[in-house]
Structures are given as structure tokens and as C-alpha cells.
Structure 1
Amino acid sequence: MEPVIDQACAAALYAEGDAALDTGASLLAAAPDADDALHRRGEEFVTRAWGRGWHPADLVRFVRLELDERRAALAGTLIAAETARYAELPPRWRAQLAGLPGAVPVPRNKPDRFSYASDLLELYRLLLRLPAIEPVGPVPGTAADRLHRAPAPDEPRMLTRIRALLAKAEATGFPEEAEALTSKAQELMARHSIDGAVVAARTRSTETPGACRIGVEPPYESAKAILLDAVASANRCQAVWNGDLGFSTVIGFEPDLDAVELLFTSLLVQGTAAMTRAEAGQRASGRKRTKTFRQSFLMAYAQRLGSRLADSAERATAEADADTATATGADPESVTATTGLLPVLAARDLAVTETTERMFPRTTTTRVRGATDLDGWNHGTEAADRARMGSARGRTPRERDGEIMA
């Protein structure tokens, strides 16, 4: 059946327009015996995507953005089949595979087979033209894959505690309780990160910064990217946004990357819930500017949380530095920059910056503008206050522009 596959792909994948897809789909719809070979061809395209730096979640997200949910589900089916051949997968890959869309069955009647084949060929056309992106980890099945960092003994337990706190914060209907739970989770993240940095310094660990990609999808992606940038900065990471491909790459040490993923996801859930409640109140009063209200709400939410997260990180570092001085018998008031915790953290910050510059030598700082609704801004600021991580310096409603690395 390979000749049929070759003919269909030659007709559909290297030409533009629906006519080319129809020709290829007609050939495949009339050849049900070619299904297995057709799927293997798709798995080959998926394997090539890994070599170009893509991960499962990136691929499904991009297909969803460029095509639709139906083709994204087909991509998930191919990814599940392709990755099943590997004895081991990196931890982040396993988590991404768990979130794939459900498998798409192969239809049997001819009209449905034509539509199915057309969808597959359009998906293959997109996969064939995927750009290369910055790699953020080993490719499955390679020697590098077997060298990924083993988690610290207490790390899974710590992450479980943090996830439980954030899940409770998302579920509660009481803003004060959500604030307390989220603050506790951030505190655990910060102290866990600092403890890891101290241990690495004492043992002269050779661990270097890594990277992961986190989806930043429409709508209101600029506000979401600013929120992610704030969360990354507070957790000693750096984020680089690629708006065209729908994600930000976050660079940092592995425990900090885990913290950023968890906290960003939770704050986005909390912010969206708060926005929905505030929007309902606006509609009840007769207002109709839903889109501008949401954009302004999320922009204010991201900006305000950025200040509060930064304050929380500074406070946690100061407390840990004082604890370090006390443990070594020094006077906390007289600890110098060369004997305390700060040099350890500064060295890690420098390593993260150097890794970011090496991965993205041509980044630019992009100004994004989107907050034009004062009520949305005020409601978003209030929501951020309820989700706050500690005392804040804050920003004024006039500060409606944000900056983000892209």
C-alpha cells in the first residue's frame, strides 16, 4: 500500500489549496488497506518534529491554533502511537502525554473516510512545514534522555503539597482563603528553591539551568504572557514569549521550572474565575464591552501580581539569608554579600541569564498595550489583591502598558 500513500502525499502535501487535498483524500478513501501505512507515515512526521525541538503539548497546541480541535485530536492520536515505542520518556513528556486529546477512531464508510483522510493530509501538510524551534530538553530514545535530572528525595512530596494547596485555592469561593492558600504555596516554592540552591552550592553540584515551554494561547495572550513573566521572575527564572507559536519558553533550574508551571496555571484559573464573576456584575448593570473589560481585567491582574510576587520573593530570600546567618553563628545584621545566601542565588541568576542569552541571542523587549477599560482594570487589580503573595508596592491604573521579552 506504500504506492497509494506516496501518490496521495505527493498530490496533497506539496501543493496549496483544497483541490490537492481532495485528490489525495480520494485516493486514500478508496484504499482502506492503506490505513496502517498512512498512520505510520504520520508517525514519521511526528518523529521529525521531535528533532526540530517540538514537544507533544507544543505540537497539539500549534495544530489547534493553525487548524482546529479536530485535527489537534488527530495529532494527539499520532503522538500517542509514536511515543509508545520508547521504553522511557522524560518526566515532562509523560505529563504532556497524559493531557492529550482522546484517540480518534478510523471511520469505515466511504464519505467519512474521505473527510478523515482529508483531515490527516491537512495535518501532515502542517507537520511537514513545521519550523525548527529552540530545544528545551532531550529527544526520547537518545542518550541525553537517560541523563535527565533525578528529582531530590523530598521533591515529589513537596510538589504534592504545593499542588494540594493550589487546588484548594482554585476551588474555594472565599477570596481570603484562596489568598492564604496561594501565599502558603508560594512560600513553600521559594523556600524549596532556596534550600536546593544551598545544597547545590555545598555539594558543588554541576547542575545547569534547563527550560520548558508553557502554552500562552488566545484570547488575551499578551496579558497571560505578562502574568507568566511575573511568575517566572519571582521564581528565579526568565520567560521568552513566542506569540506566533502560542507559548513562552521558561529558563531556570528544574525545581523552579516546576514551581512556575504550577503557580502560573493556578493563578490563571483563579484570575479567570474572578474575571467571570466581575463580568457578570458588569452585565447585570447593562454594560456590553465584554472584550475590552476582559483584556483590561487580565492586564491589571498580571501587572499587580507581578509587584506582589516580587515582594514575596524578596521577603523569602531575606528570611532565608537571616536563617543561614543564624545557622552559621553570624550576626544577621553584619552578614556580608560574600558570606551569606545572596552570592549563591546571584550565581544561579547569572547562570539562568547566560543560558537565556545563549538560547535566544536575538530577543527583543516588546511593549504590549491592551488596557483601555477602567472598570476592567480596577476589578483586575482587586482580584490580584485577593490572590496576593504578601505586601505590595503596586502600580497605578495609569500604568496600562507592559513589557515582555519576545
Structure 2
Amino acid sequence: MGRRRQQGQAGADGGAAPLLDQAVRAVLTAPEDGLDLALDTGASLMAAVPAQWPAVSRALLGYADTAVGRCWSAGWRPADLARVVRRELKPVHLALAVDLIAAEGRRHPAAALDRRWHEQLRELEAEVWWQGDEAYLAAFAHRHRLDRFALATAALELLRTWGRLPPIAPVGPGPGPGGRAGGAPRADRQAQGPVPGEPRMLSRIRALLAKAESTEYPEEAEALTAKAQQLMAQHSIDEALLAAGGADRNAPGALRIGVDNPYESPKTMLLDAVAAANRCRVVWAKEFGFCTVVGFDGDLDGVELLYTSLLVQMTHAMQKAGSRQHLDGASRTKAFRQSFLVAYAARIRERLTAATERATEDAAAGRHLREDGTEEHLVPDERLLPALAARTEAVDQEVGRMFPKLVSQRVRVSDGEGWVAGRAAADRAALHGRAGEIRR
């Protein structure tokens, strides 16, 4: 205790930053069997003297600037850091993580952040809500009903988790000079009106999917989702022709989408189905709970929107299918649902691919869908198919550059009834209406 008091007093006199650095370093390097001791020792040093708590608060926010900035340099983004914490730690750690991300964000002007970075900060509700950095820890402890020791422990656990993250392939510019890309930040994803900086076609797709998720009538949801996929394919074709004309020379980009348990494998299959139908590629990082989607910017936006909507529909269909039991009364719900979701994703892949092929055939023949939903006939553009092939090749090359070593994984189906039910549910969630309707 004498040594702890001596170091704690040093913190009160202005040595909080070295004390915190020492505690974090000990926790970062501690083996698993010595982690509890390192956490207890470090948290005790940080929390021992009430008078040093404001200095510890300032030191923590200063240390977080460096720790979070190091994660940005290693390819991580705000949603990624939050996802890691959500998977591995507790809600209080997530609240602390969001605050530290917000605090670090004060270093960067809004113009230094790209569109998706802004979106992630908004979705996390990352904002500096406290008054003065020296008061932060006291305010956080009061808000979450924690004592100093418990909060210091949580901070060290969080910094250990972030400090041990490996570098990953970046999916866009990090904050800093020249970092802004991709247009202005969009409004909430559920918004149905026009969004600044977003093509009007994507705004219409967003509105259709929001309505599809909210309606209580399956037939209406089917029609709305069908229309959204139709517009997505048309939008991709229009952008490909624009690029072929030399008006747009954008290169493929990437984004990360979280894929969480349970049933993360079939969820990834669903995302891959949506991505493939929209000329994108998916790479799954199972250990971190996310997929990287590679494609052109407009296609990426559409993939994210449609996957989110179909995931809602798929989950609802699975729950509606209910639970299953063996003849002896034992539960086989997990196997049934796993097979259900795999079949659902496989059938959605077939239907999305067919819809995209039909839209491409129509475009190649000169049939074009106006934004008001009516059809116009144009002179067939011979550049279309080569332009689409060039974009597919560019995406494949970008995947090879970002992920030079890829491994495929098979998904097993262990419940035949679940497979049949899943395909049937995917058929009911039709992505197109009657034949005359889908072909316009």
C-alpha cells in the first residue's frame, strides 16, 4: 500500500500521464494468466487518490488520442472499433469506447473525414457531451454508476483490446489532410426523402426499402423490394456507361459490414449473394465479425441497403418458421434454422442474379427505366457489355491487391426440412413480381 500511495500522490502532482502509460503497458503485455493482477494493480494506481482523478481523466483522453489514432493508421474505422468492443467486452466498455472515439475526433475538422466516416460517427452517436476533460471520468462514473476502481479497470480493458488489434486492409482514407472522399455525409439510412450528396436513384432505393421493411403486407414488401433491385441494377448500368464515356474515372472502393452471431455463416452468404448480383466481391473476416465488400461506390451503397433490408426479411421468415424437435423431443431448432438460412441465401442469390441479368439484357437492347418508373427506348449502346466486364475485372484486381491470400469455406446443411423451408421462404420474399412486371 505504501508504494501505491506514493505513486498515486505523484499522479496528483502531475504524473498521471506516466502512471497511466505504465498501467496500460503492463496490461498490454500481461499474459492471460497474469491479466487480472495487471488490471487490479493498474486500476488501483489510477483510482487510489481522489485528488488525482481529474489528472487521470485528462491523461486518459490524451492517451486515447494516440491509441485511437494508431488504430486509424492500421486501417480500422469507428464502426470497426465499436464492433470489436461490442463482441468482446460489455456495454459500459462500448459507451467508453464511443466517448474516446468522439474525443479523438476533435483533432480532425469535418472536411478531413469522408462520407462513410461521418455516417459511422453519427450512427455511434459519438459526441463530446462532457464539460472539460478533467471532469470526464467523474461525469462518466456518475452517468453509469461506477466507482473509480471499476471505471479505471474498464478503461484498461478497453485500451488492451484496441492495443492488440492487428493492421487490416484499409477501406477508405483515414482522417487527415486530403482524407475527404465520396461526397457529403448522408442523412439517416431510414430517411425516405432526398439526401444531400447522394444520387437521386439511391434515394429512391432507400425509400423503397424503408417502406418494404415497415409494411405489414407481404405482397407490398415483395413489390417494393423488387422495384429496389430493379433500380439498383439500372443505376449500376448507368454508372458503367458514364465511366465508359470518360466522364467518370473512379476506381473500385470498399466498405465493411458487420456480420454477427448467431448464424453468421448464412448471413455472410446472403451478403455475398447481394454483392455478387451487384458486381461486388465479399471477403469475410470471421474473427472480427465483419465482411469487406469491394466494388464501385454506387454499387456499394446499394449492396449495403439491400442486404440490410433482406436480413430483416430473412430473420422474420426464420422466426415465423418456428422451432423444431426430434421425435424424442430433443430440440433441433439450431440445425433447422442454420439450414433454413443457408437455403434462403442460396435462393436469393439465384433470384438476384436472374434479375440483374434481365436488367442487363434490357439495357443492352435499349430499354431504359426512367426515374419516374416509365420506360423509354434508346439506341442500344455497344459499350455496355465491355464496360460492365471492365468494372468486374477492376473489382477482381482490387480484391487481389487488398487480399492477396484468400481461403474459401464450405457451409454444411444438416437439416433437409430447414433447407426446403428456407428456399420456400426466399420464394415468398420474391424480388420480382409477375414476369411482365419485372421485364418492364
TM over 0.5: yes
Aligned to 1:106: 140
1:236-275 equivalence runs, <5 A: 236-275=279-318
Partners in 1 of 2:69 and 2:244 — Cα distance?
Answer: 38
* CA deviation after TM superposition for structure 1 residue 10, in Å: 3.4
Aligned to 2:167: 132
Q: Which amino acid aligns with 1:342?
A: L
Partners in 2 of 1:191 and 1:381 — Cα distance?
Answer: 27
**Aligned equivalent of 2:423, options 359, 381, 386:** 381
Aligned to 2:101: 79
Partners in 1 of 2:60 and 2:82 — Cα distance?
Answer: 19
Aligned to 2:115: 91
Aligned to 1:396: none
* CA deviation after TM superposition for structure 1 residue 97, in Å: 1.1
Partners in 1 of 2:390 and 2:332 — Cα distance?
Answer: 48
* CA deviation after TM superposition for structure 1 residue 391, in Å: 8.4
Partners in 2 of 1:291 and 1:175 — Cα distance?
Answer: 26
Partners in 2 of 1:187 and 1:327 — Cα distance?
Answer: 18
* CA deviation after TM superposition for structure 1 residue 121, in Å: 0.2
Q: Is the 8 Å Cα contact of residues 27 and 156 (structure 2) preserved in structure 1?
A: yes
TM value normalised by structure 1: 0.87
Partners in 2 of 1:324 and 1:274 — Cα distance?
Answer: 35
Q: Is the 8 Å Cα contact of residues 312 and 391 (structure 1) preserved in structure 2?
A: no
TM value normalised by structure 2: 0.80
Partners in 2 of 1:220 and 1:366 — Cα distance?
Answer: 15
Question: Which is higher, the Rg of structure 1 or of structure 2?
Answer: 2
Q: Is the 8 Å Cα contact of residues 266 and 341 (structure 2) preserved in structure 1?
A: yes
* CA deviation after TM superposition for structure 1 residue 150, in Å: 7.3
Deviates more, 1:68-77 or 1:52-61: 68-77
- Name the SS of the counterpart of 2:293 in structure 1: strand
Q: Which amino acid aligns with 2:73?
A: G
Q: Is the 8 Å Cα contact of residues 205 and 228 (structure 2) preserved in structure 1?
A: yes
* CA deviation after TM superposition for structure 1 residue 207, in Å: 1.0
Aligned to 1:21: 39
1:152-171 equivalence runs, <5 A: 155-171=198-214
Runs of 4+ displaced beyond 3 Å = 101-105, 108-111, 146-156, 285-288
* CA deviation after TM superposition for structure 1 residue 49, in Å: 0.3
**Aligned equivalent of 1:310, options 350, 353, 378:** 353
Q: Which runs of 5+ in 2 are unaligned?
A: 1-15, 128-136, 186-194, 369-376, 435-440
Deviates more, 1:17-26 or 1:170-179: 170-179
1:101 and 1:73, CA in 2 relative to 1: closer, same or farther beyond 3 A?
Answer: farther
RMSD: 2.7
* CA deviation after TM superposition for structure 1 residue 76, in Å: 1.5
1:47 and 1:154, CA in 2 relative to 1: closer, same or farther beyond 3 A?
Answer: closer
1:272 and 1:239, CA in 2 relative to 1: closer, same or farther beyond 3 A?
Answer: same
1:349 and 1:60, CA in 2 relative to 1: closer, same or farther beyond 3 A?
Answer: same
1:387-398 equivalence runs, <5 A: 387-390=429-432
**Aligned equivalent of 2:53, options 20, 26, 32:** 32
Aligned to 2:155: 120
1:190 aligns with 2:237: no
1:57 aligns with 2:79: yes
1:38 and 1:291, CA in 2 relative to 1: closer, same or farther beyond 3 A?
Answer: same
Q: Structure 1, residues 215-271: CA drift from partner, whole Å, max 9, x if none?
A: 111111110111111100001111111111111111110000000000001100111
* CA deviation after TM superposition for structure 1 residue 327, in Å: 2.6
Aligned to 2:344: 301
1:26 and 1:150, CA in 2 relative to 1: closer, same or farther beyond 3 A?
Answer: closer
Among the aligned pairs, what percent are the same residue? Answer: 53
Aligned to 2:3: none
Partners in 1 of 2:237 and 2:196 — Cα distance?
Answer: 16
1:223 and 1:240, CA in 2 relative to 1: closer, same or farther beyond 3 A?
Answer: same
Partners in 2 of 1:235 and 1:253 — Cα distance?
Answer: 10
Aligned to 1:146: 180
Partners in 2 of 1:110 and 1:314 — Cα distance?
Answer: 57
* CA deviation after TM superposition for structure 1 residue 8, in Å: 2.2
1:353 aligns with 2:396: yes
Q: Is the 8 Å Cα contact of residues 115 and 181 (structure 2) preserved in structure 1?
A: no
Q: Which amino acid aligns with 2:306?
A: L
Aligned to 1:400: none
Q: Is the 8 Å Cα contact of residues 309 and 388 (structure 1) preserved in structure 2?
A: no
Aligned to 2:319: 276
Say how many residue pairs are matched.
380
Q: Is the 8 Å Cα contact of residues 53 and 134 (structure 1) preserved in structure 2?
A: yes
Aligned to 2:263: 220
* CA deviation after TM superposition for structure 1 residue 172, in Å: 2.0
1:141 and 1:204, CA in 2 relative to 1: closer, same or farther beyond 3 A?
Answer: same
**Aligned equivalent of 1:9, options 24, 27, 40:** 24
* CA deviation after TM superposition for structure 1 residue 206, in Å: 2.1
1:82 and 1:150, CA in 2 relative to 1: closer, same or farther beyond 3 A?
Answer: closer
Q: Which amino acid aligns with 1:117?
A: A
1:327 aligns with 2:351: no
* CA deviation after TM superposition for structure 1 residue 173, in Å: 2.5
